[in-house]
Structure 1
């Protein structure tokens, strides 16, 4: 690649059209809302942040896990309980993963390819590895090789690398934030020399040239999703959300809808919890399909945070103002947005019901045994939530 000294300007010029692209992508109903448009810029910055990680340290011959989705890279509507990390790999390579499994609820590695961030198209997973299936030491240590064929003489954990795999992504799901021990792990290539050396200028410029495209895919993929739910009539009414062709995990079932609430209204979600499951949760998003800030608001609940009533029903109150009950989802200043729930490896896949009531009458629609929460208790709970969420490892 010829170097004319203007590579930075070329990068900026490549990013410049994304402002207009985003303005056109934001639903027409929202384009004149200055707050939404500021949030759309935040979404572009989150996409640029994601693109920057690969540009700076991504190397298929010497892979390294980098943040994929989290509170700071709030793209593709991340699950509140999940930290996502990924690394680029070279097809046909041999890779060693070593680390400490930790005590979080789930750690699952997915083989991916082609990469959505680079193609702009969704693809189903090529395979997944549950870290619970790995042999671990008493201290949680593990080691696994992922390669086209098992290395000669290697007797440890091994999984076949799918021929089209060009990216690995790990989902780390924790339900008791700040208490469960987060995993630690690294990856090394077994079939190249260990030393990386100095990257060539052409290699760096190739990585920089990908940034506008990756930023575009990250930021422009889903700003219309909530509006599409509204147009389909799924306002305050759930539908199945099939992500099996969009890198969704096998064994996971999603439901979602758009919501619309006035300041004095509340939605009550009710669902019979399955007899067995590995994990479940419910979260909120804004109109651009960014997950509502779950660090600083009670805008998500999982199977440890939420309370199931004595009759086996999980009831959630969704509202703008605190209803004074434990299972509250705070819309956090967004009168419209989306609600999404998921079941993972559950014995059943129930679809919750939703009904709208007046917030002032909320206790009339809930069991007498519903856990009440005072303003003082809520303040303490939110402070603890904020601290616990920050104890998770996202970088």
Structure 2
């Protein structure tokens, strides 16, 4: 006789805990917020299936992490994938490197959603295209293990004690022209064949899957509230996250009225290998970025003649090239990134009346016509849809 299998709802109780995190949002009494929290819960529950059912450390495989579907603040320039692993096994990642501007591998303890706070993550180690070599045929091989294999002189990244996952970022600057990698991951140790899950395994993993939405909400709501507590609205609060030593985030909680606009202004590093700015909604989801111009980077922005970057957030298109579209939102978070840059300037945010916007910008600020904006958006949609998601 097999194990007792309880009614499905008994394994999904943590979903109610996720819903109660509505209390930690900025407008817990707003029905629109409640509806969005429910939608977010289902989004993260579906992501949790990949976390707990798709692969295991002995039988690694790529699962989607963040992308235009799983939108807990992905960088719009990145496609994220991951695989579980174990720190006592040896793995090989190989295949075609593609032509993405940055290919970043991070091993760490904690797949997003399995832990409830940033402080619980650890054992982080990273390697990117500045650290590994690619063959003349664009083929790439990297070994991940606790110690470098004897006699092996190729690309290697250490698995620190406690590491249990590998996160990969395919980072594009020019979405239209760059090509995503095609990579495989394999365990090089002798392991048993992948078995069918027993009923008790299924219910255990189902129970774990149902905690993903709660953990995601606790983690990300706290992250944005920490920014608000530290510097208030419309001010930058630079942070670093585990595993990305070369990346400085410069987030802010933004807020403005319908007749206002925000101007983000910054000096530019002399060497800026990668940077971007994006908008998030009040629940830390990335604002729609396939069909909206809600992010900008070094390929799509125009730097001012004085060497400064200025980006404008406004509800409607003001006809300025560097406009970020908040998709009807007047509050949320913005995230900027400096990656592998020669300096780390901290931008400012200025709130102005929309009617006075141009008076606060240089006379030669780049502009676009409605026709140019429509064409740019069509190209953005086509380029985004060509990218890998699964």
Task: Tell me, yes or no, if structure 1 residue 272 matches structure 2 residue 264.
Answer: no
Structure 2 residue aligned with 1:104: 100
Aligned residues: 388
Instruction: Measure, in 2, the Cα distance between the counterparts of 1:210 and 1:55.
Output: 7
How far is the alpha carbon of 1:194 from its aligned partner? Answer: 7.3
Task: Tell me, yes or no, if structure 1 residue 95 matches structure 2 residue 91.
Answer: yes
Structure 2: which 5+ runs fail to align? none
> TM-score if structure 1 supplies the norm length?
0.91
Q: Spell out the pairing of 1:200-219 with structure 2 (5 A cutoff).
A: 200-219=198-217
Structure 1 residue aligned with 2:34: 37
* RMSD of aligned residue pairs (Cα, Å): 2.2
Instruction: Measure, in 2, the Cα distance between the counterparts of 1:276 and 1:32.
Output: 46
Instruction: Measure, in 1, the Cα distance between the counterparts of 2:22 and 2:91.
Output: 39
For 1:69, which of 36, 41, 66 is the aligned residue?
A: 66
- SS of equivalent to 1:80: coil
For 1:151, which of 149, 152, 158 is the aligned residue?
A: 149
- SS of equivalent to 2:211: helix
Instruction: Check the 8 A contact 2:133/2:140 in 1, yes or no.
Output: yes
What do residues 215-266 of structure 1 show as CA deviations (whole Å, max 9, x unaligned)?
32123322354444444452122222x233xx35002112122111111111
Instruction: Check the 8 A contact 1:107/1:172 in 2, yes or no.
Output: yes
Instruction: Measure, in 1, the Cα distance between the counterparts of 2:320 and 2:243.
Output: 33
Structure 1 residue aligned with 2:279: 284
- SS of equivalent to 1:368: coil
Give the direction of change, closer, same or farther, for the CA distance of 1:387–1:26 in structure 2 (3 Å limit): farther
- SS of equivalent to 1:25: helix
What do residues 34-93 of structure 1 show as CA deviations (whole Å, max 9, x unaligned)?
222111112111211221012331211101111111221112x22111111111112300
Structure 1: which 5+ runs fail to align? none
For 1:49, which of 41, 46, 51 is the aligned residue?
A: 46
For 1:361, which of 339, 356, 361 is the aligned residue?
A: 356
> TM-score if structure 2 supplies the norm length?
0.92
Instruction: Check the 8 A contact 1:286/1:334 in 2, yes or no.
Output: yes
Instruction: Check the 8 A contact 2:176/2:379 in 1, yes or no.
Output: no
Instruction: Check the 8 A contact 1:109/1:131 in 2, yes or no.
Output: no
Moved more, 335-344 or 354-363: 354-363
How far is the alpha carbon of 1:182 from its aligned partner? Answer: 0.5
Structure 2 residue aligned with 1:382: 377
How far is the alpha carbon of 1:300 from its aligned partner? Answer: 0.7
Give the direction of change, closer, same or farther, for the CA distance of 1:120–1:383 in structure 2 (3 Å limit): same
Instruction: Check the 8 A contact 1:263/1:321 in 2, yes or no.
Output: no
